[in-house]
Amino acid sequence: MRTFIFVSAVLVLAASSFAQDAPPSNSQPNIVLIYTDDFGYADVGCYGAVGVETPHIDQLAKDGLRFTDAHSASATCTPSRYAMLTGQYAWRRKGTGIARGDAAAIIKPGRTTLPSLLKQAGYTTGVVGKWHLGLGDGQLDWNQDIKPGPLEIGFDYCFLIPATGDRVPCVYVENHQVVGLDPADPIKVRFGKPLDDQPSGKTHRDTLKMDWSNGHNMTIVNGISRIGWMSGGESARWVDEDMADRITEKAVQFIEDQKQSDKPFFLFFSTHDIHVPRVPHARFVGKSTMGPRGDTIAETDWCVGQLLETLENCGMTENTMVIFTSDNGPVLDDGYKDDAVEKQGEHNPSGPFRGNKYSNFEAGTRVPMIVKWPGVIRPGSESKALMCQVDFPATFAHLGKNPSMIKVPQDAIPDSLAMVPALLGKTEQGREYLVEHGGALALRHNQWKYIEPSKKAKYNAKTNIELGNHPQGLLYNLATDPGETTNLANSKPEVVKTMQAKLNSIRND
Q: Give least dist CB 116 to ligand NG6, A.
A: 24
Q: Does residue 453 interact with ligand NG6 by CB under 6 A?
A: no
Contacts of ligand NG6 in 44-83 (CB under 6 A): 76-77
| Cβ-based nearer residue to ligand NG6, 156 or 333 | 333
What DSSP character marks residue 240?
Answer: G
Closest CA to 294 of 54, 29, 2, 31: 54
Per-residue string for binding with ligand NG6, 83-112, x by CB under 6 A?
---------------x--------------
Strand partners, 189: 230
Closest CA to 277 of 296, 299, 301, 304: 296
Question: What gap in Å lies between CA 228 and CA 67, rounded to an integer?
Answer: 38
Question: Of ligand NG6, Ca ion, none, which one sits near residue 164, judging by CB under 5 to 8 A according to partner kind?
Answer: ligand NG6
Q: Does residue 344 interact with ligand NG6 by CB under 6 A?
A: no
Question: What gap in Å lies between CA 107 and CA 139, rounded to an integer?
Answer: 16
Query: What phi, psi does 152 have (nearest 5°)?
Result: -90, -5
With contacts defined by CB under 6 A, name the span among 2-10, 119-127, 208-216, 309-317 that binds ligand NG6.
208-216
Question: What gap in Å lies between CA 509 and CA 503, rounded to an integer?
Answer: 10
Query: What phi, psi does 115 have (nearest 5°)?
Result: -70, -35
Question: What gap in Å lies between CA 353 and CA 275, rounded to an integer?
Answer: 20
Q: Encode 4-46 in three state secondary structure.
A: EECHHHHHHHHHHCCHHHCCCCCCCCEEEEEEECCCCCCCCHH
Q: Give least dist CB 166 to ligand NG6, A.
A: 5
Q: How many residues bind ligand NG6 (CB under 6 A)?
A: 18
Closest CA to 378 of 71, 9, 32, 66: 66
What DSSP character marks residue 99?
Answer: P
C-beta of residue 70 within 8 angstroms of C-beta of residue 419 = no
Question: Of Ca ion, ligand NG6, none, which one sits near residue 203, judging by CB under 5 to 8 A according to partner kind?
Answer: none
Q: Does residue 462 interact with ligand NG6 by CB under 6 A?
A: yes
Contacts of ligand NG6 in 136-195 (CB under 6 A): 164, 166
With contacts defined by CB under 6 A, name the span among 214-222, 281-289, 414-422, 441-449 that binds ligand NG6.
214-222
Q: Give least dist CB 506 to ligand NG6, A.
A: 24
In one letter, which amino acid is 504?
N
C-beta of residue 146 within 8 angstroms of C-beta of residue 178 = yes
C-beta of residue 439 within 8 angstroms of C-beta of residue 98 = no
Q: Does residue 37 interact with Ca ion by CB under 5 A?
A: yes
The residue number whose beta carbon is nearest to ligand NG6 equals 77
Q: Give least dist CB 94 to ligand NG6, A.
A: 17
Q: Does residue 77 interact with Ca ion by CB under 5 A?
A: yes
With contacts defined by CB under 5 A, name the span among 38-46, 148-156, 237-245, 372-380 that binds Ca ion.
38-46
Q: Give least dist CB 353 to ligand NG6, A.
A: 18
CA 137 distance to own-chain centroid:
23
In one letter, which amino acid is 358?
Y
The residue number whose beta carbon is nearest to Ca ion equals 77
- Give the E-state strand segments of 200-358 in sequence order: 220-221, 224-225, 229-231, 265-270, 320-326
C-beta of residue 498 within 8 angstroms of C-beta of residue 505 = no
Contacts of Ca ion in 313-372 (CB under 5 A): 327-328
Q: Does residue 334 interact with ligand NG6 by CB under 6 A?
A: yes
Q: Give least dist CB 129 to ligand NG6, A.
A: 13
Question: Of ligand NG6, Ca ion, none, which one sits near residue 442, judging by CB under 5 to 8 A according to partner kind?
Answer: none
Question: What gap in Å lies between CA 327 and CA 76, rounded to an integer?
Answer: 7
Q: Give least dist CB 442 to ligand NG6, A.
A: 18
Q: Does residue 129 interact with ligand NG6 by CB under 6 A?
A: no
From candidates 153, 171, 227, 303, binder to ligand NG6 by CB under 6 A: 227
Question: Of ligand NG6, Ca ion, none, which one sits near residue 98, judging by CB under 5 to 8 A according to partner kind?
Answer: ligand NG6
What DSSP character marks residue 200?
Answer: B
With contacts defined by CB under 6 A, name the span among 59-67, 110-118, 210-218, 440-448 that binds ligand NG6.
210-218
Q: Does residue 275 interact with ligand NG6 by CB under 6 A?
A: yes
Q: Give least dist CB 217 to ligand NG6, A.
A: 9
Contacting residues toward Ca ion, per CB under 5 A: 37-38, 77, 327-328
